[in-house]
Amino acid sequence: MSAAFTPPATPVPDLFQPSLQDWAEQPAQAFEHWLAARGYRESSATVYRAMWRKWLRWTESHHRVLADWSAGDIAAFLDESGLTKLHRYRYARLIERVFHQLELLRTGTHNPASAAVQQKLAEGENDPTTFLSLAERAAIEASLEVEASGGAAANASAFKLARDRALVAVCHGAGLKVAQVQALLLRQVDAGLEAITIERPRGPSYQAPMLEAARPALAAWLAVRGHAEVPGERVFVADAGGRVMHAASVYRRVEAWLTALPELMHRSERLSPQTLRNGYTAALFDAGATPAEVGSALGLRDQTSAWRLRATYVEWQAAAHPDGRA
């Protein structure tokens, strides 16, 4: 049985919000307050703290103060540290998040980590297509379970928890991409939650069957959303006021959910909405779907792509489980 899953806590106001001067003069202490304001679980906070200290040791040894940090510095640090692609990415994202906070203190603040990501300095060549094993998919589905009493709670923490669970649910259970999640409207969700209709600006729409295990999480979110009387038709919103959820936020919330799962910590590949889409593909093939059916569920315009995807999955299974066990 999978261990109980505790998602990242919703950020709460801290008694002390570090200023730009605090970040420049005492970056380690400022980071502690930044962690506290986000309410991370202690296990996650310990990892982030160690990552930040390692980065600070490098900058200090190279005489680089915060105002001088650059994308090149981040790339050099990642190269010298001999990190895997996944860990390179996580370091860049951590520094990027800190600078998002600094931008709130001073609009227009240069974000060296964002530049590193855009310039692909934080990653190597594209990784080959990977999937999720049956055990990994089961762990994700266990994390999506909704308590019987988890109805339409109105507080902000419950609102965001239900939303984030549903974000993972539609990516895992229907293979939605980030842009599709962001643009999803209520009318596109089947009344029985058996399928989601994906509308495209060019070309016909298609139906993505919803895996049964993912439906309760989406149903719970729709109940919370309705109770909060969120305006507008978007399924996923940033807050109860109906503010549009940025694509980057969708990505971050899904990533945070997945990286908190102990069963996925062994993976060296990046965990993202695309990981869940690949897992959805694997689930369909495992259930006996034909390449044509999988291609239809994924909205692939060229059916030969589905056959290639099937071959890739078979090869991945053989490499990941040479003994034939999933």
* Residue 111 sits in the same domain as residue 191: no
8 within some domain: no
| 151-172 confidence digits (pLDDT tens) | 455 588 889 999 999 999 999 9
Most confident of 9-13, 99-103, 139-143: 139-143
Q: How confident is the model at residue 10 (pLDDT cuts 50, 70, 90)?
A: very low
Clarify whether residues 145 and 92 are in a common domain: no
DSSP calls for 32-53: HHHHHHHT--HHHHHHHHHHHH
Does residue 37 sit in the same domain as residue 113? yes
**Same domain? 98 vs 168:** no
Neighbours of 67 (CB within 10 A): 9
The domain that contains 192 carries what CATH number?
1.10.443.10
Q: Is residue 15 part of a domain?
A: no
Same domain, 102 and 145: no
Please tell me the distance from the alpha carbon of residue 278 to that of residue 326, in angstroms, as a whole number: 15
Question: Among 58-67, 119-128, 233-242, 262-271, which range has the highest average pLDDT?
Answer: 233-242
Pair (217, 264) in one structural domain: yes
Final residue belonging to a domain, choices 87, 118, 149: 118
Whether residue 49 sits in one domain with residue 138: no
Q: Record the tokens describing residue 178, joined without a space.
A: 């980030």
Of 118, 150, 169, the residue at which a domain comes to its end is 118
Distance CA 313, CA 130 (A): 8
Per-residue pLDDT at 321 exceeds 80: no
pLDDT of residue 74: 83
Q: What is the DSSP letter of 69?
A: -
Give domain status of residue 180, yes or no.
yes
- Residue 95 falls within a domain, yes or no? yes
Q: Is residue 87 part of a domain?
A: yes
Work out how many domains the chain is built from and give that number.
2
110 and 142 housed in the same domain: no
Q: Are residues 174 and 202 located together in one domain of the fold?
A: yes
Instruction: Round the average pLDDT of the chain to a whole number and report it.
Output: 84
Helix (H), strand (E) at residue 157:
helix 156-174
- Whether residue 138 sits in one domain with residue 98: no
Residue 9: inside a domain = no
Cα 111 from chain centre: 20
Please tell me the predicted confidence (pLDDT) of residue 11.
44
Highest mean pLDDT among 86-90, 200-204, 295-299: 295-299
Residue 53's domain is classified under what CATH number?
Answer: 1.10.150.130
Q: What is the pLDDT of residues 195-242, one digit of tens each?
A: 999 998 777 899 999 999 999 999 999 999 999 999 999 999 999 999
How sure is the predictor about 319, in pLDDT bands with cuts at 50, 70 and 90? confident
* Alpha carbon of residue 204 to chain centroid: 28
Average pLDDT over residues 113-140: 75
Q: Dihedral of the CA atoms 311, 317, 319, 323 (nearest 10)?
A: -140
Among the candidates 61, 85, 118, a domain finishes at: 118
Per-residue confidence band for 93, with pLDDT thresholds at 50, 70 and 90: confident
> Do residues 112 and 166 share a domain?
no
Give me the domain span that covers residue 52. Answer: 20-118
Task: Judge whether 128 lies within some domain.
Answer: no
- 219-244 burial code (b ≥16 CB/10 A, e <16): bbbbbbbebbebeeebbbbeebebee
Residue 1 counted as domain residue: no
Same domain, 155 and 184: yes
